[in-house]
Amino acid sequence: MSAKKEKKANIAVLISGGGTNLQAILDAEKAGALHSGSVKLVISNRKRAYGLERAKNAGVKAVAVTRKDCGSQEAFEAELIRLLDEAKTDLIVLAGWLAILSENFTRHYEKRIINIHPALIPSFCGEGFYGLKVHEAALAKGVKVSGATVHYVNEIPDGGEIIAQKAVRVYPGDTPEKLQLRIMKQAEWKLLPKAAEQICSEIVAGKHPGFQED
């Protein structure tokens, strides 16, 4: 009797840089911790993003789509949608993605886009808070705890419903780089694959709000 093939949701991961969060998702899938979804597509808005190499090394389709090559925001987003729909994407994961996505785009994929933010929203988030800038602000404020947040993406930067958070200690003498790495290791790389599995299991069970039949 052949084992019943588990239905899996199709995941697309959007990146702009090194792709360590993408790597955490790929590793979780390989280890079986992420089993309700499978990464079918990686899109980078930067041609030289190392994350594209990570995707290729994992045998996943990797495409660079730049706003410059597309000529306009509308054409850029239309190309993203074409690729995402061609891959029959169920869940879009923004993993270090730094390009603007319009309300048209986020509404097109209502409750089907998640993002990892390297702070405990509502702290240190919104316009201009990305990458090291987040940790520089946290250290400047003197917080003793920071962390990471997985949230749904809507038209407000870092404004969507919070899905999961994990706190990480801040130590005297921390630099933005040290804090960033600690938050990646202790929070981001754990939270994102877990959130992807949770949402994909709801999708395949037909229980996810982003997939309710009208």
Active site residues: 117
The token pair that represents 37 in the structure block: 């979804």
In the region spanning residues 127 to 146, those forming contacts with ligand GRF, defined by CB under 6 A, are 131
Q: Which of 43, 65, 90, 96 binds ligand GRF (CB under 6 A)?
A: 96
Rg (the chain; Cα; Å): 17
Alpha helices in the chain (DSSP H): 20-31, 50-57, 67-70, 73-86, 103-108, 132-141, 176-183, 189-204
The answer to the question of residue 188 lying near ligand GRF (CB under 6 A) is yes
Stretch that binds ligand GRF, among 25-33, 105-113, 157-165, 180-188 (CB under 6 A): 180-188
Residue number, nearest CB to ligand GRF: 96
The answer to the question of residue 176 lying near ligand GRF (CB under 6 A) is no
For residues 98 and 130, the answer to whether their CB atoms sit within 8 Å is yes
In the region spanning residues 29 to 88, those forming contacts with ligand GRF, defined by CB under 6 A, are 51
* Least CB distance to ligand GRF at residue 198 (A): 18
Residue nearer to ligand GRF on the CB measure, 151 or 208? 151
* Least CB distance to ligand GRF at residue 96 (A): 3
Q: Which of 184, 196, 200, 204 binds ligand GRF (CB under 6 A)?
A: 184
How far, CA to CA in Å, does 95 sit from each of 22, 36, 142, 150, 179?
Answer: 6, 19, 27, 10, 18
The answer to the question of residue 193 lying near ligand GRF (CB under 6 A) is no
For residues 201 and 36, the answer to whether their CB atoms sit within 8 Å is yes
End-to-end CA distance of the chain: 37
194's CB contacts (< 8 A; 6+ apart) are 33, 164
Q: Which of 118, 147, 160, 193 binds ligand GRF (CB under 6 A)?
A: 118
CA 62, distance to chain mean position in Å, is 15
Applying CB under 6 A, the site for ligand GRF has a residue count of 16
Binding mask 6-25 for ligand GRF (x = CB under 6 A): ---------x-xxxxxx---
39's CB contacts (< 8 A; 6+ apart) are 11, 12, 13, 22, 25, 26, 29, 55, 58, 60
Residues at the contact surface with ligand GRF, assessed by CB under 6 A: 15, 17-22, 51, 95-96, 116, 118, 131, 180, 184, 188
